[in-house]
Amino acid sequence: AGIRTQEGLNYDPEDPAALLDIHRPAALDGRALPVIVWIHGGGFLAGSRAEIANYARILAADGYAVAVVDYALAPGARYPVPVHQVNRALGYLSGNAGELGLDSGRFILGGDSAGAQLAAQVAALASSPEYAKAMALRPALAREQLRGVVLFCGPHDARLMARQGASSWFVRTVLWSYLGTTTPSD
């Protein structure tokens, strides 16, 4: 109760499917709130912002603005498309912080499963200029804006997944769908 939601905000005008929702306590309207950006899981193959809306409302009830980001799913979109999309979502949130009631200096990235991997990778972009250069991406957040990262059950090493899950149909399906191979390289 008491949570106001802005649904279906488009974070990339060139991509009509690039949507996010923002949940915030209605009692704190007019205040710039710290932002939790939550990225849904689903093995890169499934999931949506709508599926974790209740969790986002619970987090928002503690005084946060919680932005839940959708990204393109595999195999329709392969790596690194979702990384680019999440980075653009962060750029949208940071660039429109005043109008959205967000504190642009206090971002926390979080995610579960595939979302945890995406949150980790985007946090690395903001934290490591060398990594951002290797990815050929300009991070949407400056290191000072990123105050924390919450990673829940994320797959962070595709090569390890391939070795340990070689007999698992799910791991093979995820690797092929998202990376385009079942034997990822460096």
What are the 10-residue block averages of pLDDT along the chain, 186 residues in total?
97 95 97 98 96 98 98 96 98 98 98 97 97 96 98 86 73 85 76
Q: Quick one: 99 exposed, middle or buried, by C-beta within 10 A (0-12, 13-18, 19+)? A: exposed
Place of tokens 């999309």: 85
Pairing of strands 33-39, 102-112: parallel
How many Å from the N-terminal Cα to the C-terminal Cα in the chain?
47
| pLDDT, position 156 | 82
Q: How many CB atoms lie within 10 A of CB 133?
A: 11
Nearest of 66, 63, 47, 45 to residue 55 by alpha carbon: 66
